Structure 1
Amino acid sequence: MHDYVNSLRHSLPYINAHRERTFVVMLPGESIASDNFGNTVHDLVLLHSLGVRLVLVFGSRPQIEARLAAQGLHSHYHRDLRITDAATLNCVLDAVGQLRAFMEARLSMDMAASPMQGARLRVASGNFVTARPLGVIDGVDYQHTGEVRRIDSKGINRLLDDRTIVLLPPLGYSPTGETFNLACEDIATRAAIELQADKLLLFSSEQGLMDASGVLIRELTAQHATTHLQRFKELKQLEQHELLQAAVSACRGGVPRCHILSYQLDGALLTELFTRDGCGTLVDQGQFEHVREAQIEDVGGLLELIRPLEEQGVLVRRSRDLIEREITQFSIVERDGLIIACAALYPFPEEATGELACLAVHPDYRHGGRGDILLERIEQRARALQLDSLFVLTTRTAHWFQERGFQACTLEQLPSAKASLYNFQRNSKVFRKTLS
C-alpha cells in the first residue's frame, strides 16, 4: 500500500502538467498486432480520461503485407519506401479500413472498463490529411505512394476541443479525389508540428533508442542526433533511424519533446509520462533560435543555405561577392549558431515599394512557421522605410504567397528598374501585396 501511495503522490504533478495538452501518438501496425496492444489502448483511454487531447496515428505495414501474400502479390520497394500500384492500393485500403474499425471498437470497449464507465467516448476520423504523389525518383514511379501536403489542424482542433479522440490512418487525399498510401511516421510528425503539439510519442519494437553497446539512450537533444542517425543508417537499423528522424524533424518544427518507447512493454506509456526517469528515450529541442539582421560574418552560412535551392532553380544564383555587398538587405533565423532561414528586402523608395527576395528555409526546419516569421520581419522593415507594398517574383511557390495576401500582378506594375532586369527565360510569376 505504501508503494502505491508514493507512486500516486509522485504522479500527481505530471497529471496536472499533462491536462489539456495535445499529444500525438504514433502506433505502427506492428504495435496493433502485438499481444500488449490491449494494455496500450487501456492506457490511452486513461490519458483521455485525465484530460489529455489525443491524436492517434496508426500504421498498417504488416497487415498490408499479409493481404498481399494472401493474393500472391509481392511488395516492391525503392529507398525503403513501398511502391503502391493499383493492386497494392486495394490491399492498403482493405487493411486500413479494418484497422480503423478495430481501433474504434477497442477504444470504445476500454472506455467501458475505465474509470469513465458510463461516459461517452467519441472517436473521429476523416479526410484531415491532404497528400500529393511522391512522383518519380531515380526513374522509379511510386504511383499511389504519396507524401503529406498539409494537415487540417483547424478541423482536428475543433474535435479535440470537443473532447474527441482523433484517429489518423496512413492515407491522404488529393483535391482531385486521389487516395495515397502514406508513411505513418510522416503523418505523425507533420500532425505534431502543425497542431503545435506538446508531445510526439513514437512506439517502437525496442525499449527506445539504443547506443552502439546496446544500452538505452535515456535522453538526446535534436542537435546531437546526427551521429546516431548516421550509425543507424550504416547498420541498416531502419526502424531506429526512422523514429529518430521523425523525432528530430518534430523538434525542429517546434514540438518541445518527443518520446520513443516500447509497444511490447506493459505500462510503458504511463511510466514514460508519469515518472521522473521514464522508460524510453526522450528527444528534446535543446536549442535556441532567434531572428536578426544579417552581418558580414553570416555570408558563408547564407551561401550554404541557398546553394541547394539555386541548383534546383528555385532561387536565382547569387555570387559570394554579391551576397557580401547586399548583406544588409538580409534577415535571418539563427538556431544554435546555424542559419536555418533567410529573406531579403530590396527597397525602391521612389515607387514606395520593395522586393521580397531570396526567401529560403533549410529543409530540416520547414513546416515550423519560419517562412511566416521572416515574412512578418520583412513587412516590418518595409513599413519602417515607409513602403506601401511588397512584390515578389517566384517560379515554384505561388500558392504560398497567395495564401498570405499576395495578388498576381503584371510586369508593368513593377518598378521600371526591376522590370528592365526581368528574366523571360525563368518566366517568374509576379505577385504584389499592399501593406496596411
Structure 2
Amino acid sequence: MSRNQPNKHLHLNLFLLSTGHHEASWRHPEANPGNAVDFRHYARLARLAEQAKMDSIFLADKYRLNPMTKYRVVPQLEAFTMLSALAAVTENIGLTATASTTYYDPYHLTRKFASLDHISGGRAAWNIVTSTGDATARNFGKDRHLGHSERYERAHEFMEAALRLWTGWSEDALMLDQASGLYADMSRIAAANFEGKHLSVAGPLNLPRSPQTVPVLVQAGSSEDGKSFAARWAEVVFTAQSGMEDAVVFYADLKGRLKHWGRTKDQMKILPGLIPFIGDTEEEAKDKERELNELSASEYGLYNLSALLQTDLSDCPLDGPLPFERLPAVGDVQGQQARFRLYTELARKEKLSIRQLLIRTAGGRGHFTVCGTPVQIADAMQRWLEADAADGFNLMPPLLPLGLEDFVSKVVPELQNRGIYRTEYAGKTLRDHLSLANEPDVQYAK
C-alpha cells in the first residue's frame, strides 16, 4: 500500500444498533435479541470501542415504531438516557446522540446536550436530524411531517438559537466566591433572544458553559439541502457511499462548500459507513455475509424499500426490475432524498432486480460493504483515506457483538501497524480526538 500521506490518520466511530446492522442479525445463532434493551450489552460494546481507541460511539434514534418490527428486533434505548449511563462506565470515548430539530425545541435540547457534556467531561456530540414520515408527526400531535425544504429552514434557525444558548455563559461567568457569597457574574451571562420564522427562544440556559462549550456537531443528510446544511454547521458528516469513486466526488463536493462559510477543510471530518464482514480467508468472510442474507425476510425489505421509494412495490415480481416509471422525482421525495437516489442509481447502474436490491441493501442499506481478511479490509480503508474519499469511517458491524470483537482484535492492530490509526488517545474530549478546536469556531453561525 502507498505511504505517500503518512500524516493522515483514520477516525473511527462505532454505530451501535442492537444485534447488528444486518437486518437479519437478530436471527443469527450467535445473536441475543434481548440485548436490544440490555444496558450491559451496550456497556460492553462501548468499552470494546474505547479499548480500540475509537473516537466515538453513536446512537441513532427514531420516534415511531416500524410496522415491520414483526420481522426485526426493535431499536435500542432512548439515546440521552443510554449515553448518560455509558458516560459513567467509560473515560475517553465520545458519545453521539441523535436528536431532531423538527420535534425538539432549542432550549430543551441544548440543556440536554450541555448536561451530557458536563456528565461525560466533554465527550458529547449531536447527530442533527430533521426526521422523516407522517407517522412520526402524529406521535407529536401533528397531522403531517414538515416538507423537506421547510424542515431544513427550521433546522437552520434551530442551530442559530442553539449556538446562542450554548455560548451564553462566558468562561469567566462562574465566580464561585464562597467568602463573598457570589456564585456567578450575571453580567457575563447573555440571553439568546432569538426570533425566527419557525422558532423563538429567550434564554439563557440555566447551566454554566460545558467543557466543550458546544457538542461536536454531526450530520448525515446527503441531499442537496443536507449538504448545504452540513457545509454551514457540521463538524462530522456520516454518509452512505457504496463505492470509492462516488465517495471521492462527495468528499470533494462537501469540503469545497466550506469556504463559502469561512471554514477550512480540516474543520469537517467525513466518515462514510463501513460494513465489514471479516474472515480468516475471503471465502469465510463471504460465507458470513451469505449466512445473514439467507436469514432475511423479503417482506421486511420490501416494506422498507416501498417506504423509501414512496411507491408500493407489493404488486411487483421480486425477480423483475424496479418500476422506475412509477417512482417520484428525487425533488418530490419528502423523506430521505439522498438514500432514494443511492438505491435507484444502484439498481439502474447494476441492472438489479428488486430481490437483488433487497439483498444488496440488507446488510448495509447502501453503505460501503467489504468482505475479506483483516489485511484486505485495512487495505480498503487505507485506499479510501489516501484517495480523499474519507477521513475515517462510521463502523457498522453487521453482527454484534461478534463483528466488533473481530474488528477490534484483527483489523485495528493492522491499521495501527500501518501508522494510520492511533494507539493512544491524545486528549480527553471528543474535540481532542477529532483534532477540532477546543471551542468551535461559530463565527459562521450568522
TM-score relative to the length of structure 1: 0.30
- Structure number with the higher strand fraction is 1
Higher relative contact order (CA 8 A, sep 6+): 2
Q: Which has the larger radius of gyration?
A: 1
